[in-house]
Amino acid sequence: MKLSKKVVLLGHFGVGKTSLFKRFIDNEFSEEYKVTLGVQIKKKVIQLPDGRELSMIIWDTEGHSKSVEDTRKSYLLGSHAFIYVFDVTREDTYKHMDKDLEYLKNTYTNVTTKVIGNKLDLVSEKIIIKELKEHNTPFDCLTSAKTNKNVQKFFLELAEEITK
Amino acid sequence: MKDKQHLLQFNQKIQLTIVSFDGIIKETDNKLFDWKTGSSIYDTHPFFYIIESLTNDSSTKEFSFPCIHFKNNTSEKLCDVSIKIKHSEIAIIFYDYTEKYKELNQIAQQRNESFLKSKALALKNKYLLEKEEFKNSFIANINHEIRTPLTSIIGFVEVLEKTKLSFEQEELTRIIKRDSQHLHTLVDDMIDISKIESGQLKIVEERFVFSDLIAGLNESYSRLADEKNLQFETYIDSNIQEYLIGDRMRIYQILNNLLNNAFKFTEEGKISLSVTKNYQRTNKLSINFKIEDTGIGILEEHQPHVFDRFTRFNEEKQISGTGLGLAIVKNLIDTLNGEIKMTSQPEKGTIFNIKLPLKFEITKSAPERKKKKYTLPENKKKFRILLVEDEETTQYLVMKTLITHGSFYVDVAIHGEEAIHYIERRNYDLILMDLKMTKVDGYQATHMIRNNYGDKVISEVPIVGFTANTNATERDKCLKSGMDDFINKPFKREDLIYIITKQIAKKAAD
């Protein structure tokens, strides 16, 4: 069996998890918002720099409204990485993120967790970076699923990191 | 019978598939998905990669995964999946709840959409507010930048007017003066509209002689009426108190704007301003101002938009203006809690009726008239003025204005620090102090002059603030910092002379 890793997209509803999922896997984007119920799962085969092939199994989960603890536990089973997505234009999607990250870190000790601020196309990058830093909001990457900014790069770097 | 049918139907929505630990399908009833025995479950859907992490030992376990999307090229099923691991076999049971989940999906869609729409609206609102703030600060800054050169233009034209000019030069000077004053009005209009929009317009209540306000308008517009060969009449109800309390400057601005409009659009006939009292209760009264002209009037379809911003209906007539005048009038009247109505007939004329609330008080002493006459003291032939100003053109203009007047010597300091150096070496009768300067600014220099010297000739010298920034806060700041008076750029020659004379005369009277 080929090398495979499970990656789960988490975060509030409407932050763009499905848009990132579709942008990365199918290079598609739609302005229309469609709620995700349960979980949709797709596979993307990635060529790693060392020549190996990785099947990245991405679980795009239903967004939560309060806390990541509301996400069904079985969806998180056997994960290699969590991508916590927030919306840079909605403070409510990152205001209490520290509690969510703490929960993931304590409950899933061996799982890599990354934080993405999405919808970068709607704000000035400089201003949002300044605001996030002022509020001590951690993030690994700022993306725009709409413009494809940083999306491919982020997933490829993650693939490398979890296969080391 | 019905129950049995239901059970049969439900049975059709459950599939059982048996898989070995290496993912090979051993048995499947294919009620939902058509899979071949002997093939790998991993090739059917990426969900099944989960099996890898569940089968690290062969103990009996059960896992449940609700609402998994299984999509193929033609359809999508939303199933709850139960995985039971026993011995070396994995039993996977699929429950097809597509219909139930699609119903739930609609509800969730509506709930989330309405939430996200409200968030998007709030974001748009925040963006518009930020844009508005930027616009207002931009206008305030550009105001300062425009006013400074405009001060020079208007001032030098006034100086130029007083020199010997040929007929052609006189005509050219008249045009420059007219256009620069027009530019001045435009800048003021822009500032006013941005203040109104940002809620920064402050109403200043003061006691004033009401008849003087109307007389001032009468004087200016009678001259214009003569030039245009029009009739101009003003009428004041004798029942109106002589001294009223209200925002004199804004009332003047409203009437001036409306009269200016009336004169712009009237080529023959008559323009009138009549002021009557509506009613009076305790110390409050309501005044009606009626401005009537026999001008070109406004077409019926244009009338609802007459107070909109940037509205001009007579482009072809090439009448100058920003289209902001009536919008400002309407906003000012609203701010003053008044009302305005307009009636108009094309080719016959327009009437504006304004009702404004004002106050009065019964007092024995008359308020100080705005233009009380002052004369320079006779103990000196010439008075020494220190001009503290960093702009070269303004320095030159003020020097030229004061020296031409004949009663003043002028020294120039380019910032507050240099001003301090000067006042320690020479006595001055007055200081004209710019506010924004490098090193020591006008407020700091004033503070130092008022507080650091025991010699009263220095510490009590009259200081007049001098700036292009026209807001009331700036004026208050000047007076609070210890200045005696304030003059705006661009200034008129007679206003500059008046304020200097007034302050020197007041000091001499002390």
Residue B295, SS3 per DSSP: coil
Distance from C-alpha of B241 to C-alpha of B367, rounded to nearest angstrom: 13
This complex has an ipTM of 0.93
Residue in B closest to A75 by C-alpha = B65
pTM: 0.53
Tokens encoding A153: 């790069």
Nearest CA in chain B to A39: B68
Q: Which of B46, B108, B116 minimises the CB distance to A57? A: B46
Q: What is the pLDDT of residue B432?
A: 94
Measured between CB atoms, which of A1, A35, A40 is closest to B108?
Answer: A35
Task: Note whether B123 contacts A122, CB cutoff 8 Å.
Answer: yes
**Do B42 and A1 make contact, defined as CB atoms within 8 angstroms?**
yes
Q: Which of A62, A2, A50, A27 is nearest to A155 (CA)?
A: A27
Distance of residue B85 Cα from the nearest chain A Cα, in angstroms: 15
| DSSP per-residue codes, B221-277 | HHHHHHHHT-EEEEEE-TTS-SEEEE-HHHHHHHHHHHHHHHHHT-SSSEEEEEEEE
Percentage of chain A beyond pLDDT 90 is 83
- Residues B334 and B155: their CA atoms lie apart, in Å, by 35
Is residue B490 reached through a cis peptide bond, with omega within 30 degrees of 0 on the bond before it? Answer: yes
Stretches where chain B sits below pLDDT 70 are: 1-12, 57-58, 140, 198, 310-323, 362-371, 469-473
Beta strand extents in B268-407 (DSSP E only): 270-281, 284-293, 339-345, 349-359, 383-388
The mean per-residue pLDDT over the stretch A22-35 comes to 93
Q: How far is CA B344 from CA B91, B244, B255, in A?
A: 87, 31, 18
The Cα of B113 is separated from the nearest Cα of chain A by a number of Å equal to 7
For residue B318, give the amino acid letter.
Answer: Q
How many angstroms separate the CA of residue A42 from the nearest CA in chain B?
6
The span from the CA of B180 to the CA of B174, in Å, is 10
Contact across the interface for A74 and B65, Cβ inside 8 Å: yes
Residue B155, pLDDT score: 86
| Dist. CA A59–CA A4, nearest whole Å | 13
Q: What is the pLDDT of residues B405-443, one digit of tens each?
A: 888 999 999 888 889 989 998 999 999 999 887 778 888
Chain A neighbors of B94, CB-CB under 8 A: none
CB nearest to A14's CB, from B65, B66, B116 = B116
3-state secondary structure B44-81: CCHHHHHHHHHCCCCCCEEEEEEEEEEECCCCEEEEEE
At A59, is the secondary structure helix, strand, or coil?
A: strand
Q: Which residue has the tokens 């003291």?
A: B377
Chain A residues within an 8 Å CB radius of B66: 38, 72, 74
Decide if B65 and A75 are in contact by the 8 Å CB cutoff. Answer: yes
